[in-house]
């Protein structure tokens, strides 16, 4: 168990030492959570069952001839449940007294960032299980490829709203390639999604589909490409029983306090036929020259 004392590793170095400011390890913020359908468990509830009704078929009729075929309801469902995740810091009184920064603010910032990253990664883990797989290893995300993927989404009837989410390198590659053919950047095209939470991640729009940067999308082991996704909001769901919360608890004999963060949620595929994993290169882009 990690207990942050007055002499803990690097923490000792910031006590009574001239230091301009505390530098936090940057965690990527989490846009993917806000691209899914959201459910909330109420008090006394442990599960939500989300049903999907199949289609009906209309057939040609003949005047004077009775209809003999009837339709059947075909209903499938997904059971949505939650589980707890959490983390904690233990800060001793002596450590808090002697560091030059607000130890509780440091711990709270780190825990909040970690929770956002965990929730984002749990949604991203669903991408590779979607029914369709487009793109390929060694394939950079291009305008033509993006148009093809969006056209296929229309062909397979992904319901609106849809979003395309990928690593920032893939999105930057698309933007760079698009600039060469005179495409235009669009702002504010986020219908169907919480614009206040997604605007900073939104970089591009093609045929009304927003392209979102998600830094938590990581390279596939052994490759230099990664799975992003093009999916309808109806494809993936997040369910929450308890939003992230923090709490402090005193341990007098230890002369310390705990700070915890906990959330109770789940991430699920509602309908894999409404989404596709999109494999594209995310290797580092050149930072010199013009090519």
CATH of the domain at 245: 3.30.2400.10
Contact residues for 165 (Cβ-Cβ < 8 A; gap 6+): 31, 32, 35, 211, 212, 213, 214, 217, 228, 229
Assign 104 a pLDDT band (cuts: 50, 70, 90): confident
**Integer Cα distance of 229 and 126 in angstroms:** 9
Instruction: State yes or no: pLDDT of 21 exceeds 60.
Output: no
Residue 154 domain boundaries: 29-53+73-281
* pLDDT reading at 112 higher than 80: yes
13-22, 47-56, 85-94, 165-174, range with the lowest pLDDT: 13-22
The average pLDDT across 10-20 equals 51
Residue 290 lies in a domain: no
Q: How confident is the model at residue 22 (pLDDT cuts 50, 70, 90)?
A: very low
- 15 in a structural domain: no
pLDDT over 50 at 18, yes or no:
no
Residue 94 confidence (pLDDT) above 80: yes
- 71 Cβ neighbours under 8 A, 6+ residues apart: 56, 57
Instruction: Give the residue-averaged pLDDT of 110-130.
Output: 92
Q: How many CA atoms lie within 13 A of 224 on its CB side?
A: 9
255 pLDDT higher than 60: yes
24 lies in some domain = no
Q: Which tops the pLDDT comparison, 113 or 284? A: 113
268 has a pLDDT exceeding 50:
yes
The rounded distance, in Å, linking the Cα atoms of 25 and 57 is 56
What pLDDT shows up at residue 71? 73
Q: How far is CA 83 from CA 120, 200, 210, 242, in A?
A: 15, 29, 31, 10
Domain assignment of residue 172, yes or no: yes
Nearest to 95 by CA among 9, 162, 191, 174: 9
What total of structural domains would you count in the chain? Answer: 1
Which of 288, 279, 5, 17 lies closest to 167, judged by CA?
Answer: 279
How confident is the prediction for the chain on average, in pLDDT?
Answer: 82
Residue 138 in this model has a pLDDT that exceeds 50: yes
Q: What are the b/e assignments for 97-133, b being 16+ CB within 10 Å?
A: ebbeeebeebbbebbebbbbbbbbbbbbebbeebebe
Question: What's the average model confidence in pLDDT over 161-179?
Answer: 87
Q: Crossing angle for the helix pair 168-179 and 143-155, nearest 10 degrees?
A: 110
Q: Quick one: 190 exposed, middle or buried, by C-beta within 10 A (0-12, 13-18, 19+)?
A: buried
Measure the CA–CA gap between 289 and 281, rounded to whole angstroms: 20
Does pTM top 0.85 for this prediction?
no
Average pLDDT over residues 100-109: 77
Q: Is residue 1 part of a domain?
A: no
Which has the higher per-residue pLDDT, 103 or 122? 122
The confidence score (pLDDT) of residue 187 equals 46
Give the residue-averaged pLDDT of 32-56.
Answer: 81
**pLDDT of amino acid 124:** 97
pLDDT at 7: 62
The pLDDT, as a whole number, for residue 69 is 79
pLDDT in tens, 173-230: 887 777 655 444 444 456 677 776 677 676 678 888 989 899 999 998 888 899 999 9
| Higher pLDDT pick, 250 / 104 | 250
Q: Is the pLDDT of residue 139 over 70?
A: yes
What pLDDT, on the 0 to 100 scale, is given for residue 130? 96
Is pLDDT above 80 for 19?
A: no
The SS3 of residue 193 is: coil
142 falls within a domain: yes
């Amino acid at each position: 168990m990690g207990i942050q004392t007055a002499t803990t590793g690097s923490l000792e170095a910031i006590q009574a030492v001239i230091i301009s400011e505390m530098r936090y390890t940057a965690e990527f913020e989490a846009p993917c959570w806000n691209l899914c359908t959201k459910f909330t468990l109420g008090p006394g509830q442990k599960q939500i069952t989300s049903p999907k009704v199949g289609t009906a078929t209309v057939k040609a009729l003949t005047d004077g001839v009775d209809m003999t075929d009837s339709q059947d309801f075909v209903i499938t469902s997904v059971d949505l449940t939650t589980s707890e995740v959490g983390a904690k810091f233990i800060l001793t009184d002596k450590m808090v007294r002697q560091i030059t920064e607000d130890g509780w603010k440091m711990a709270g910032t780190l825990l909040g960032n970690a929770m956002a990253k965990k929730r984002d990664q749990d949604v991203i883990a669903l991408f590779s299980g979607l029914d369709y797989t487009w793109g390929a290893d060694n394939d950079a995300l291009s305008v033509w490829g993006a148009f093809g993927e969006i056209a296929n989404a229309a062909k397979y009837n992904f319901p609106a709203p849809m979003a395309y989410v990928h690593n920032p390198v893939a999105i930057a590659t698309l933007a760079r390639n698009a600039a060469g053919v005179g495409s235009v950047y669009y702002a504010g095209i986020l219908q169907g999604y919480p614009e206040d939470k997604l605007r900073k991640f939104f970089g591009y729009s093609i045929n009304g589909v927003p392209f979102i940067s998600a830094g938590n999308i990581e390279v596939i082991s052994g490759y230099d490409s990664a799975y992003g996704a093009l999916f309808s909001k109806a494809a993936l769901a997040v369910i929450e029983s308890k939003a992230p919360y923090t709490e402090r608890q005193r341990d007098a004999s230890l002369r310390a306090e705990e700070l915890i963060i906990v959330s109770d949620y789940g991430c699920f595929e509602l309908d894999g036929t409404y989404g596709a994993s999109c494999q594209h290169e995310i290797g580092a882009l050149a930072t010199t020259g013009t090519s």
